[in-house]
Amino acid sequence: MNAPNALGVRGTRTVTPVSYRARRWARTQLFSSPANTALTVVAVTLLAFVLYTMLKFVFVDADWTIININRRLIFLGRFPQSEEWRVWPPMWLAMGLGGLSYGLLSRGSLRDLVWLAAAVVFILGFLAHGMNGLLFGGAVMFSIAGYGAGRMAGNRPQLRPRLGTVAIVGWLLIIPFTVILISAFGGVKPALWGGLLLNVLLAVIGIGVGLPLGILLALSRASSLPVLKGVSTAIIEVTRGGPLIAWLFIARFVLPAFIPDALQTDVIVNAMIIVSLFTAAYVAEIVRGGLQSIDKGQVEAAHALGMGAFHVTFFIVLPQAIRAVIPALVSQMIALWKDTTLFAVLGFTDALGGAQAAYSQSEFIGRQKEALLFIALLFWSVSFGMSRLSQRVEKALGLGER
Amino acid sequence: MIDRALDLELGFGFLSGPGGFNFSNQWLTGYDSNDSRLGAYGVGILNTVRLVLIGIVLTTILGVFAGVARLSDNWLVSRLATLYVETIRNTPLLIQIVIWYTVVFLQLPKIADAVNILDVFYLSNRALALPSLAANGAFGLWAIFLAIGAVAAFILRKWLLRREERDGESLHATTWGLALFVVLAVVTFIATGTPLEPNTPSLHVTDVGIRNITGGLQVSPEFAAVLIGLVIYTGAFIAEIVRGGIQALPRGQDEAATALGLSGYQRMTLIILPQALRIIIPPLTNQYLNLTKNSSLAVAIAYPEIIWVGTTIVNNIGRAVPVFLMIFATYLALSLAISVVMNSFNRRVQLAGR
């Protein structure tokens, strides 16, 4: 009990290891040399300044009524109130699937729970309001249930792969489901989509159309037919040659002139087509890298087994190629999610457009900070969540380690 | 609504007509609304190029610092760098630019009550005035001497380097080359009679009682917002590239350099970064191209770069097809220029060690 035990058996630690370790840590990490000490001082000052400014702003100086009053504008834009119910089922599904994926991939650390709790507090604190509170509460319940199911499956080997399949199929089906539920059966036409909902739908449609189209472009670029190869190379390179904002202006100024009157659609539909093509071009380049990383032996072995060209491409080469480029594809999805804000430049009321409309109201002049930081946080949390999830997927698939 | 026929009309004849609009930002030019549309587009190109060139230089510096800081032994410094990268990378650039513009630069006081720092910096919501140097008539002569000095310094350094390699002893080739250049520059600067004069901004009251800032280098809040937004955003991506490049090196490189007694700074600049550069340059080139394309977001706060000029012309007279052809040709040319420069640099770095 009194003698320090070298083996560290429980109950015999009479020295105060925590403070000792803390001191040693500080000495080696923060004050190992005069230069290092100076760096520490600078870093602490900077950190203190940033923290003080942020906290003082968030809790003292800021007036968040601009968000409370304009919640609808920022989240839904001009989406008709009577059709609002169409938004909820996809949201519940997405929250449940998000929780399930997170639970399946997590190692059950305390950090996960802290993140989830922070997300719940954030959602309830800012978004919930009256009747919406119940519906949001439902979304939170779905995500918690999904997370719980995913975590529980971690201990049951026979359940885990099945739930994994459910998650993957769910994510694939949620895209058409969302688009159909919102627009079909007397739904809301795209010109009325707005707010953060518009950003989400643009990203979802962009990736939903862009991913398969990009894979096809990559395959045709790798093809041995010169015409197919030439055309797809030209499409990819021309698309990547200009910035997205130039393409969006083309959707507005040029495209309508080329479409016959009978087929004229809203500018926003043109812009969606353009965003999907733009995404496809970038996806194609990523997938091409994956295709090039596949060993020739794989194709030869598959041919030796008597597989035809179609089978070799879609069951041997493509799955391996896509698996190798998952991190890059997620980066592209994050880039697309962030790029959906460009629709505000075109004059659409997406989340950024909604925020700008909110701070041009006469009673909220001078409240730009609150509105812009709020939507910045919204976009940040989705991007950050996606990048964390992709790191988990990489680890689960064992990418980058052989 | 623009007439469809006008949109589909091809040909570039419209470029000779008067632009009919003015620029809030001009650099090296004196465009006014009677000048041709081609001239207006030229001003747009200059505005884009200025943004891209300054942006690339600044973002590289920031990115390398942040990337090295992420690997710092100092826990606090590496955490701070991580915080920077994770915050900036995951927030849309457009929102960041709008925040810099509306929350920071437009909130500066009016020009009459400009923030005055030491009588040389004036910050206001119409212009940020910084001290600069103004060239006078003797500058041309001095520039010739500067070029001669640069060549001489280059030759001296080459010669010293060859002797270093022969004798295996450090002769501080770069330091001596630099010293020769500086001495030549200072001597000819005095001999030609101060070709550059300090040009500090000052606050004036005009005859009609309006206060105004004259002199110095005046930067518009639009330019400042886009530049800072681009630099900070791209810097976060470059930091990750630099970190990845350094981490890809075998640990033995750093350990061997430590065993040879090199200091932390020497290890970084002589051993680690030159080797990491081989891995870093291709994705770095990609980031430069991204910065070039992202400079188009400046249109959101009406900084007059090529997209702004192009869409203004289209709004005035249509002709969308030729205008967007010009825009794409310009981005293509810029991207090609950057790729050519970076590829030649890449080839030199790759050859150096192999």
Tens of pLDDT, residues B132-182: 777 777 777 888 888 888 898 888 888 888 888 888 777 777 888 888 888
Higher pLDDT residue, B209 or A309? A309
Separation between Cα atoms, residue B281 and residue B146, nearest integer Å: 30
Q: Is the predicted pLDDT of residue A32 greater than 70, yes or no?
A: yes
What does residue B295 show for φ and ψ, rounded to 5 degrees? -60, -20
CB contact under 8 A, A345 and B103: no
C-alpha neighbours within 13 Å on the C-beta side of residue B75: 10
- Whether A1 shows a pLDDT value over 70: the answer reads no
Strand, coil or helix: what is A62?
Answer: coil
Closest chain B residue to the Cα of A257, Cα to Cα: B4
Average pLDDT for residues B297-304, to the nearest whole number?
91
pLDDT on residue B94: 95
What value does the mean pLDDT take over residues B270-295?
90
Half-sphere exposure of A186 (CA within 13 A, CB side): 4
Average pLDDT over residues B86-115: 87
- The mean pLDDT of chain B is 84
Per-residue pLDDT averaged across B23-36, rounded? Answer: 72
> Per-residue pLDDT tens for A170-226?
888 888 888 788 777 777 777 778 888 889 889 988 998 999 999 999 999 988 888
pLDDT confidence bin for B354, thresholds 50/70/90 = very low
pLDDT at B328: 92
Q: Does A331 touch chain B (CB under 8 A)?
A: no
pLDDT at B316 over 70: yes
On chain B, the residues whose CB falls within 8 A of the CB of A387 are: 90
Q: Give me the pLDDT at residue B162, please.
A: 86
**Could you identify the residue written with the tokens 């058996």?**
A9
- B197: helix, strand or coil: strand
Choose between A229 and A181: higher pLDDT: A229
Nearest Cβ partner for B90 among A249, A256, A380 = A380
Nearest to B95 among A36, A40, A375 (CB): A375
Name the residue among A47, A253, A368 with its Cβ closest to that of B103: A368
> Which band of pLDDT confidence, cut at 50, 70 and 90, is reported for residue B249?
confident
B327 inside 8 A of chain A by CB: yes
For residue B101, what is the DSSP state? I
Residue with tokens 């509170």: A133
Is residue A382's pLDDT more than 80?
yes
Domain ranges for chain A, please list them: 80-187, 191-402
Q: Where are the alpha helices (DSSP H) in A71-194?
A: 71-76, 88-105, 110-126, 131-153, 160-183
Q: Which residue from A98, A89, A265 is spatially nearest to A179, judged by alpha carbons?
A: A89
- Assess B297–A contact: CB distance below 8 Å, yes or no: yes
Cα A325 to Cα A332: distance, rounded to the nearest angstrom: 11
Name which of A25, A47, A338 is nearest B93 (Cβ-Cβ): A338
Domain A191-402 in CATH: superfamily? MetI-like (1.10.3720.10)
Best B6, B9, B76 residue to mutate vs chain A (most A CBs within 10 Å): B76
Q: Find the length of chain B.
A: 354
Nearest CA distance, B143 vs chain A (angstrom): 37
Over residues A360-389, mean pLDDT: 86
A320 vs A4, more confident: A320
User: pLDDT > 70: what percent of chain B?
Assistant: 94
Q: Is B119 on the interface with A (CB under 8 A)?
A: no
Share of residues in chain A with pLDDT > 90 (%): 16
Residues across chain A: 402
Chain A nearest-CA distance from B324, in A, is: 7
Which range is least confidently modeled, A68-82, A118-132, A332-346, A375-389? A118-132
Across the interface, whether the CB atoms of A241 and B72 are under 8 A apart is answered no
Q: State whether B95 and A372 contact (CB < 8 Å).
A: yes
Is the pLDDT higher at A320 or at A148? A320
Contact state of A253 with B99 under an 8 Å Cβ cutoff: no
Identity of the amino acid at B251: R
Cβ neighbourhood burial of B170 (10 Å; 0-12, 13-18, 19+): exposed
Look at residue A119 in the predicted model and tell me its pLDDT.
Answer: 66
Nearest to A3 by CA among B144, B199, B137, A12: A12
Q: pLDDT: is B70 or A151 the higher one?
A: B70
Distance from CA of B1 to the nearest CA of A (A): 10
Nearest to A46 among B7, B80, B103 (CB): B80
**A372/B332 touch (CB, cutoff 8 Å), yes or no:** no
The whole-number average pLDDT for the span B64-93 is: 90
What gap in Å lies between CA A399 and CA A322, rounded to an integer?
12
| A contacts of B300 (beta carbons < 8 Å) | 344-345
Residue with the bigger pLDDT between B260 and B115: it is B260
Of the listed ranges A325-329, B34-38, B135-139, the one predicted with least confidence: B135-139
Closest CB to A380 among B7, B87, B99: B87
Q: How far is B95 from chain A (nearest CA, A)?
A: 7
pLDDT band at A125 (very low <50, low <70, confident <90, very high): low
Mark B306-325 as b/e (b = at least 16 C-beta within 10 Å).
bbbbbbbbbeebbbbbbbbe
Residue type, B101: Y
Which pLDDT band, with edges at 50, 70 and 90, does A275 fall under? very high
The band of B188, judged by pLDDT with boundaries at 50, 70 and 90, is confident
Record: contact A341-B95, CB cut-off 8 A: yes
**Where does the pLDDT of residue A123 fall: very low under 50, low under 70, confident under 90, or very high at 90 and above?**
low
Interface test with B, best of A49, A286, A338, A379 (most B CBs within 10 A): A338
Q: What is the mean pLDDT of chain A?
A: 81
* Mean pLDDT, range A229-249, rounded to an integer: 91
- Residue-level pLDDT at A401: 53
**With contacts defined as CB-CB under 8 Å, which chain A residues touch B338?**
none
Cβ contacts below 8 Å, chain A against chain B, sum to 130
Which of residues B74 and B111 earns the better pLDDT score?
A: B74
Please tell me the predicted confidence (pLDDT) of residue B89: 93
Nearest to A329 by CA among A196, A202, A218, A175: A218
Question: Bigger pLDDT: A216 or B213?
Answer: A216
Most confident of A101-115, A136-150, A225-239: A225-239
Q: Point out the least confidently predicted range of A49-53, B226-230, B290-294.
A: A49-53
Q: How confident is the model over B213-238, as a mean pLDDT?
A: 89
Q: Hey, are the CB atoms on B92 and A379 less than 8 Å from each other?
A: yes
Dihedral-angle region of residue B196 (phi above 0 means left; psi in -120 to 50 means alpha; beta otherwise): beta
Angle among Cα A178, A184, A187 to the nearest 5 degrees reads 95
Q: How far apart are alpha carbons B17 and A199 in whole angstroms?
A: 40
The yes-or-no verdict on residue B197 having pLDDT over 50 is: yes
Tens digits of per-residue pLDDT, B131-146? 777 777 777 788 888 8
Which of residues A73 and A8 earns the better pLDDT score?
A73
Does pLDDT of B324 surpass 70?
Answer: yes
Q: Per mean pLDDT, which of A69-73, B145-149, B155-159, B328-332 is the most reliable?
A: B328-332
Burial (CB < 10 A; 0-12, 13-18, 19+), residue A163, is: buried
Which member of A30, A258, A352 has the closest CB to residue B94? Answer: A352
Please name the residue of chain B whose CA is at the shortest distance from the CA of residue A239: B328
A339 — contact with chain B (CB < 8 Å)? yes
User: Shortest CB distance from A39 goes to which of B74, B99, B299?
Assistant: B74
Residue holding tokens 């190869």? Answer: A229
Q: What pLDDT score was predicted for residue A286?
A: 92
Torsion of CA B264, B269, B272, B275, to 10 degrees: -170
pLDDT at A87 exceeding the cut of 90: no
Residues of A in contact with B88 (CB under 8 A): none
CATH superfamily of B4-110+221-281+295-313+347-351: MetI-like (1.10.3720.10)
Q: Please, which contacts does B178-187 make with residues 24 or more away whose CB atoms are closer than 8 Å? A: B178/B153, B180/B149, B180/B152, B180/B153, B180/B156, B181/B149, B181/B150, B181/B152, B181/B153, B184/B145, B184/B146, B184/B148, B184/B149, B184/B152, B184/B153, B185/B145, B185/B146, B185/B149
CA–CA separation, A169 vs A101, rounded Å? 12
